[in-house]
Structure 1
Amino acid sequence: MSSFTVNTTSARIIKWLFLMLLTVFSFQARGQDVISIDSILTLYDEGIVTPDSLNTIYQTRSLTDKEKIELLRVISFYPSSPDCIKNSQTLIELSRKTNDIDGLITGYINLGNALEQEGDFTGSISNALEAIRVGDSAEYPKRANSYNNLGYLYTKTKDYSQAKKYLRRALVLQNKIDSTDYRYLLSMHYNLGDVFLKNNELDSGYYHLQRSKKLASLLNTDQYDPYFEGNLGTYLMKKGDLEEGKVHLLNAAEQMVEYDDPIAAMEFYNLLTDLAQKQGDDELALLYANRALELGSDINAYTDLIDTYYNFYELSEASGDSDKALEYYKTHIELKNKAINLTTVQQMNNLRNEAELTKKEKEVALQELRADRNRTISIISAVLVFLLSLLIIGLFNRFKYIRKTSRIIEQEKERSDALLRNILPDETADELKAHGKVSAKQFDSVSVMFADFCGFTRYSQNMDPDALVKRVDFYFSKFDEIMEKYDLEKIKTMGDAYMCAGGLPFPSEDHARRMVLAAFEMADFVEEFKAEAPDDPTRFDCRIGITTGPVVAGVVGTKKFVYDIWGDTVNIASRMESNSEAGKINVSENTYQIIKDEFDCDFRGMVEVKNKGMMRMYFVNREAKVRSRESGVVSRKGYG
C-alpha cells in the first residue's frame, strides 16, 4: 500500500511539472517548442499526461500534419469527448492526404465508436466496414483489429450472430499475421467471450474469458482485471450462483466508475438489477437500476439504456405502478427500435462480402466488362424496340388494369381492416385508424381470467413441435369461441397460458358473471376432451383463476400492435390461477363479493400469495343459487 502511495504521489508531481512546462512553452515562438510530440505521447502512455492536455497542445501549438495525426489518433479515441466526431473526421482527412494507412484506419474506427455513442448505429458500422476495406486493400499488418472492432459494435446492437462471425475472423487473421501480439489477442478473446455470455453460451464464454486472463498474465498487466471480474460475475450469476456472482459484479461496477468507463459500469449495474430481482430484493434492484440510469443518461448510452428501462418496467409492474410501467415500457421500445434499425447496414455488409475479390479477379472482371460492352449496346437497342412495343400495348390495356388494381386494393384494405380488428377491439382499432395512436384508458371494474394447463411444460419437452402447436391451437381456438359467446375480450396467450378480460373496452355490469360462466364452459371442454382418452398425458387438466378490479388498457408498439392491460388486478388474477387446482375455478374476494348471490362458493381460507401476503380465496362450485321471488327460499341448480 505504501509503494502505491509513493508512486501515485510521484506521478502527480511529474504531471504538475509537465503542465507547468506546457504553460511556459505555449508562449514560445513557432519552431521553438522544446517538448517534442513523441516525448509528450510517451508521457501519455505512462499515465502522466491526460487526453485533455493533449487536446490543449493540439489546439495551441503549431504542428505539422504528421504531428497532428499522432495527436488526433489519441484524442479521437475517447467517444465521450464533445469534439470526438470532428477530430475523427479531421484525422481521416489528414491521413488520406498524407497516405497514412494507420491513421486512416484509426480515424474510421474512432469515428464509428463515436457515432455508436451518439446512437447512430448505421454510421457506426458503415465506418467500421470502411476501416476493414482500407486495411484489407493495403494488407495492413494490424487489420485484424478492424474486424475485432466491428464485432464489438455488432455486440452493442445485440446482433450476436454477426458479432461472433467477425470476432472469430479477427482471431484467425491475427494468429495468421502475428500470434505473439498478446494485446490484440487478449482483446479479441475477451470480446468473443463477452458475446457468448450475453448469448447465454456460458461454457464458450468462460473458455474465452480464461484465455484472455492468461494473455493478460503474459503481458504482466492488471489493467483488465475489473473487466475480467465483471464477466466472471456474469458467468456465475447465469450459472445460478447468485451470491458469488453479485460480489464480483458489484466490485467490477464500482471499479469501472473509478476507471471512468461508465458504459461497462452501466452494463454490470443492469446485470445486478436482474440478479437482485431474482433474489426477490426489489428495493436493491431499484437502487442498481437508478445507478445504471444515472451513468447512462450522462453519456446517452442507447443500447445499454434499453435494458435499464426494461428493468424499470419490470420493477414498476411488480410494485403495481401501472402508469410508470407503461411509460418505461414505451421508452424501452423506442430505444430498442432505434438500436435495431440496421437493415441498411446489413445490406452494406452483404454487399461487402460479395465484393471481396482479389486484384486478379477484379482485373478479369474488368476485361470481361469491356468485352461485353459492344454486345450490351446491341442488346439495349433491341430491348428499347421491345419496350416501345410493350408501351403501346400497355396504353391500350391501361384502363382495364387500373380498374382491376382498384378492386384488388379495395379487397386488401378490407382484409387489412379485418386483421386489425382481430388483433384489437373495434373501438381501439377505429381510434388507431383515425389518429394513428391509441390513448391509454383507466377501467375501474374489469374481470381478468388466467387459464393454464397442468403439466404442460413437462410433457411439451418430449412432444413433436408440430403436434405441440396443433394441440395448443386446438384448445385455444375453442377458448376463443367461448370468449365470443360471452362477449369477453381475449388479451393474449403466453406459452400454455390464456389471458382474457371482461368489462372492456366498453364498461358493463355483469362481466364477472359472464367470466365465471365462460370459465365453467372452458373447464367442461377440457374435461370432456380428456375423458375421451384419459391415459393420454397430453390431454391436460386446466387451472383457472379470476379476479375483479381496476386496470389500465392501451396499445404498445409502432409496427406490431399489441393490445394489453396492466395493473395489480392482472397480477392478482395470475396468482389466483397459480393457486388454483386442476379443474377448479379460483376467485378472489373482490369477485366473490360480486357473484356470491348467483354462484355457490367454498371459502378456502387465507392463502399466502407471493408479494401480496395472505389473501382470501374461493372455489366456485358448478351449482348456482336460484332465489324464489315469492318465498325467498334459496335452491340450487347445476350449470352445464
Structure 2
Amino acid sequence: MKTLLPHSIKTLITVMTFVIAGGLTVTKVSAQGKVEVDSLLNAYYGGKQNTEERIQTLLELSYNGIIPPEDRLKYADSLIQMGKKFGLPKRVFNGYMNKSYAYYDMSDFEGNIRESLIALELADSLNNGYQGALYDNLAYTYSKVNNPTEAERYFRKALELHLNQEEKDYEHLGKSYFNISDFYLRQNKLDSAINYLNLAESTFAKLGPSPYDSIRDGKATQICLLANLGVYHFKKGDYDKARPLIEQGAQGFQVIWPEASLEYYNYLIDLAQEQKNYKQAESYAKRAAEIGKNTRTNTELAKVYLNLYELELQKKDYKTALEYYQTHRAYYDSAINLPTIQRMSNMRNAFEMANKQKEVDLMAKEAEIQQLQAKRQRTISYISVGLVVLLGLLIFGLFNRMKYVRKTSRIIEIEKNRSDKLLRNILPDETASELKNYGKVKAKQFESVTVLFADFQGFTKYSENMDPEELVNRVDFYFSKFDEIMERFDLEKIKTMGDAYMCAGGLPFPTEDHATRMIMAAFEIIDFVEQVKNENPDDPTRFRIRVGINTGPVVAGVVGTKKFVYDIWGDTVNIAARMESNSIPGHINISENTYHLIKDRFDCTYRGEVDVKNKGMMRMYYVNPINSSQRNEVIREMSISQTS
C-alpha cells in the first residue's frame, strides 16, 4: 500500500475569514474580476483620487487574490504608511493582515506568522473582533510548517473565543469547528476529526444559505464539509463512500481554489493506488498537474509529481519516471525549508565516553606543550644575553638544550599523531580534517543514505544479572567485530547507545551501492552473532540480534565544542529505528525505501506494515538469506576484499 502522507487540507479560514478584512467582498477569479482589478489600478495610478479614496483603493488592491502576492505586499505597505500618517489604526491593522495573506500565498510561512502576530496585537488594542480569524490563520500556518503543538494551541484558542461569546457568531464558530476538525483529520485523529466535523455542519446549518457560496460560484462550504467527510471515510478504509465525496471537492475547487483541488486529487491518487487502479491514479495525477501548473501550490504539486514518478516506475518507464522525479524535487525544494538543526544530547557507552575524554586530555596536553615551547624561547633569550662571559657554559648548556628540543619535538610529534589517530577514530576522515583546519564542521545534506540499527534481544535482563565490567567487555567484543565489518564494507559507524549499534552508508562520500553494502554487512553481523552463540553453548550471554534498515535523506554534522560527536538526523534515522524495533532476532527488516534499491539483487519477503509517527503506515520486508556463492558474487561486484 502506498504510504498515506498527512495532506494539508486548506481550512475554511482561507475561503471565508480572509474575505472580511476591512469589510471587503471577494473578487471572483473571472473575466469580471479582472475588469474590476483593472478599474482599481487605473483609479489608483490615475492621480485623481482624494486621500480617503486612495486609502480605500489600497485596501482593496492589497487584498485582491487576482493580483500577484508580491504586488499585494507593496500595496499593503503603502496602506500601512498612510494609515499611520493619517491616524487610521484600523487601516494599519488591515495592511498587516493583508500582508500576512500575501506571504501565505507566496509560501513564505515565516512572513505570514510574523505579520499575523503584529495584526493580532493591533486587533487586541482595537478590540475589532478579528482575533479568532487570526488565531485560525496562525494555527493553519503552524500546521503547514509541521508544528502541530502550536497549531492545536491556536485552533483551540480560536474555538474557545467563539464559544465564550455571549451572542454566538455561528458563522465563525462553524469555521473554528471545521478548522480543528481538519487539523485532527491531518493528524489521523479520526474520532476527534469526525466529531468536530459534525459540529461544524450543525453550526453552519443554523445560518441557512451561506453568503460565501454565491461569491464562490458554488456551495463552497458544503463542498468542504463533504470532501473532508470523504477523506475521513478514506482513512477509515471505506473507499466506496470516500471516492465520490473527495471527487466533488477536487472538481469543485479546480478554478476557484487550486490548492484545495490538488490536495483532494492527491487523496484520490492514493485511493486509486490502494485499490490497485493505477490507470485511474495516473488520470487523477495528470489532471492535478494540469490544474496546478500555473499556481503556487508547490507543496501539493511536489506530491502530485511524486505520485506520477511512482506510477511510471510501476509501468517500468524509467526515463519518464526520472523526469517526474526531477520535477517533484524542484517543487519540493522550492516549498520546503530545512529547519534549524537542534543540538542533541550525547549518548555514548562507557568505552566511547572514555575516548572522548582522552581527546580532551590530549588537547590540554598540546596546550601544555605550547607553553613549554614559549618557555624554551625565553630561556634561549636569557642564554644569548650572557653569551660573551659564559661562552663555555653556554656551549654546554646549548648542547643540553638541543637534546631537550629534540626530545620535546619527538614528544610533540608522538602526541600529535596520537591526537590525530583518536580524532579519526571518532570522526570520518573528511570531517576530522575539516575540524582540524577550520575549528568547526559545516552540517551537510545527503539525499540518499542507508541507516542500520541493531540491538541485542533481552539485553536488559542480562545487564541486571551480570557484573558491569564483564557486561561492558562482552558488548565491546561484539561491537569491535561490527566495527571491522563496517570498515570492510566502507560504511560509517555513527554511534552506540547501550546495546544499540547505529551505522550509515553513503556518507561522508556518496556512493551508488550503499544499500547493497549495508545488506551484506548486516548478513555478516547476524552470522557473527550466531557463530558466537553456537560456539559457546554454556555462555550465559548468548545474545541474539535484531536488525532494521531504512534509506533516505539525512543531515550530518558535528555537535559539541569539546566532546565532539558526529551524528545524523532526519526521518530516515527514525524510520530505521522503527524497522529495528519491529524486527525479530536473526532477521534483516528493511523499509520500502531500501527494498526498492536492493530488490533486484536480493530476494525479499513482504511482512506487513508498521505505523511510523508523522509518516503513517509503512511497508516492511525481510531480506532472505543468500548462500556463500551468492555472497561472493555480490562482494566481487562491489570490489570488496574477502575475509580470511
Q: TM-score, normalised by structure 2?
A: 0.55
Distance verdict in 2 for CA 1:89–1:452, change over 3 Å = closer
C-alpha distance in structure 2 between counterparts of 1:129 and 1:436, whole Å: 32
Kindly indicate whether residue 575 of structure 2 is the aligned counterpart of residue 571 of structure 1: no
User: Contact 2:34–2:66 (CA<8 Å) still a contact in 1?
Assistant: no
Give the superposition deviation at 1:102.
3.9
- 1:57 matched to 2:61? The reply is no
Contact 1:267-1:304 within 8 A present in 2 as well: yes
Q: Distance in 2 between matches of 1:168 and 1:311?
A: 34
Deviations for 1:331-380, whole angstroms, at most 9, x for unmatched residues? 4663454275699xxxxxxxxxxxxxxxxxxxxxxxxxxxxxxxxxxxxx
Residues 233, 245 of structure 1: 8 Å contact kept: yes
Tell me the distance in 1 between the aligned counterparts of 2:595 and 2:24.
60
Residue equivalent to 2:387: none
Is 1:271 aligned to residue 267 of structure 2?
yes
CA 1:529–1:218: 2 relative to 1, 3 Å: farther
Could you say if the C-alpha distance between residues 170 and 532 of structure 1 is closer, same or farther in structure 2, counting changes exceeding 3 Å? farther
Deviation of 1:43 (Å): 9.1
User: What is the alpha-carbon distance in structure 1 between the residues aligned to residue 100 and residue 416 of structure 2?
Assistant: 43
- Residue of structure 2 equivalent to 1:81: 67
Letter in 2 for 1:151: A
Counterpart CA distance in 1 for 2:598 and 2:156 is 46
Counterpart contact for 1:317–1:325, Cα < 8 Å: no
The answer (yes or no) to whether the contact 1:543–1:582 under 8 Å persists in 2 is no
Deviations 1:479-502 (A, max 9, x none): 834633753647999x9999979x
Residue number in structure 1 paired with 2:526: 522
Separation (CA, whole Å) in 2 of partners of 1:44 and 1:425: 59
Partner residue of 1:421 out of 420, 424, 428: 428
Whole-angstrom distance in 2 between the partners of 1:410 and 1:65: 77
Match of 2:583?
none
Alpha-carbon displacement from aligned partner over 1:153-198 (angstroms, at most 9, x marks no partner): 2222232221211121122223334542222222222222111111
Q: 1:521 to 1:58 in 2, by over 3 A?
A: closer
Verify the 8 A CA contact 1:450 1:573 in the aligned structure 2.
no
Instruction: Say which of 112, 125, 134 aligns to 1:124.
Output: 112
Q: Verify: 1:231 aligned to 2:228, yes or no.
A: yes
Residue 391 of structure 1 is matched in structure 2 by none
| Inter-partner Cα distance in structure 1 for 2:63 and 2:165 | 24
CA drift at 1:124: 1.6
Counterpart mapping for 1:550-629 below 5 A: 569-573=597-601, 575-578=603-606, 585-586=625-626, 591=630, 594=633
**Residue type of the alignment partner of 2:159:** L
Shift of 1:127: 0.7
RMSD: 6.1
Partners of 2:325 and 2:554 lie apart in 1 by 9
- Summarize the Cα distance change of 1:281–1:112 in structure 2 as closer, same or farther, 3 Å threshold: same
Displacement after TM superposition at 1:264 (Å): 0.8
Give the Cα–Cα distance (whole angstroms) in 1 for the partners of residues 419 and 191 of structure 2: 50
User: Offset at 1:410?
Assistant: 12
Distance 2:276 2:540 in 1: 39
Task: Check the 8 A contact 1:79/1:117 in 2, yes or no.
Answer: no
Return the alpha-carbon distance in structure 2 between the equivalents of residues 325 and 90 of structure 1. 42
Other-structure match for 2:486: 484
- Aligned to 2:188, the other structure's residue is in SS state coil
Q: Is the 8 A contact 2:447 2:554 kept in 1?
A: no
Change in CA separation of 1:177 and 1:522 when aligned onto 2, cut-off 3 Å = same
Residue 220 of structure 2 aligns to a residue whose secondary structure is coil
Indicate yes or no: 2:230 matched with 1:240.
no
Distance 1:306-1:423 versus aligned 2 partners, 3 A rule? farther
Of the structure 1 ranges 201-210 and 53-62, higher mean CA displacement relative to structure 2 is found in 53-62
Name the CA shift for 1:185/1:481 in 2 (closer, same or farther; >3 Å): same
Q: Match of 2:207? A: 219
1:156 and 1:303 in contact (8 A); partners too: no
Partner residue of 1:633? none
State how 1:389-400 maps to structure 2 within 5 Å.
none
1:289-339 CA distance string (max 9 Å, x none): 344444444222244345445545655666664855874675466345427
The whole-number CA distance in structure 2 between the counterparts of 1:177 and 1:435 is 52
Query: Do 1:451 and 1:497's aligned partners in 2 also have CA atoms closer than 8 Å?
Result: yes
Q: Which residue of 2 aligns with 1:382?
A: none
Deviations 1:248-307 (A, max 9, x none): 22221110114x101111111222233333333444434433444444442222443454
Q: 8 Å contact 2:309–2:324 — kept in the other structure?
A: yes
Shift of the 486–280 alpha-carbon distance from structure 1 to 2, 3 Å rule, reads farther
Partner of 2:246: 249
**Which range is displaced more, 42-51 or 91-100?**
42-51
* Partner SS, residue 294 of structure 2: helix
Task: Give the match's secondary structure for 1:338.
Answer: coil
Residues 336-415 of structure 1: pairs in structure 2 closer than 5 A: 337-338=336-337, 340=339
Could you give the per-residue CA deviations for residues 121-160 of structure 1, whole angstroms, max 9, x where no partner exists? 2222111111101011222233322222222222222322
Counterpart secondary structure, 1:298: coil
Q: Percent identity?
A: 20
For 1:572, what is the secondary structure of its paired residue?
coil
C-alpha contact (below 8 Å) 2:450/2:594 kept by paired residues: no
When normalised by structure 1's length, the TM-score is 0.55
Separation in 2 of the partners of 1:527 and 1:274? 45
Asked if the contact 1:541/1:582 (under 8 Å) is kept, the reply is no
Q: Which residue does the alignment assign to 1:380?
A: none
SS at match of 1:257: coil
**CA deviation after TM superposition for structure 1 residue 224, in Å:** 0.6
**Superposed displacement of residue 232, structure 1:** 1.3
Letter in 2 for 1:585: P
**2:126 maps to what in 1?**
138
C-alpha distance in 2 between matches for 1:591 and 1:230: 52
Q: Secondary structure at the match of 2:206?
A: helix
**Count of paired positions:** 466
Q: What amino acid is the match of 2:253? A: M
Do structure 1's residue 261 and structure 2's residue 257 form an aligned pair?
A: yes
Q: Distance in 2 between the 1:534 and 1:168 partners?
A: 58
- Give the Cα–Cα distance (whole angstroms) in 2 for the partners of residues 557 and 47 of structure 1: 42
2:333 aligns with: 334
Preserved CA contact (<8 Å) 2:285 2:308: yes
Residue 289 of structure 1 aligns with which residue? Answer: 285
Distance change in 2, residues 1:328/1:47 (3 Å): closer
Kept in 1, the 8 Å contact 2:526–2:545? The answer is no
1:112 aligns with 2:100: yes
CA contact (8 A) 1:303 1:339 kept: no
In the alignment, what sits opposite 2:404?
A: none
Mapped contact 1:542–1:583 kept (Cα < 8 A) = no
Structure 1 residues 66 and 561: alpha-carbon distance in aligned structure 2, compared to 1, 3 A threshold:
same
Distance 1:43 1:74, change over 3 A: closer
Mapped contact 2:602–2:624 kept (Cα < 8 A): no
1:481/1:90 CA distance change after superposition, 3 Å: same
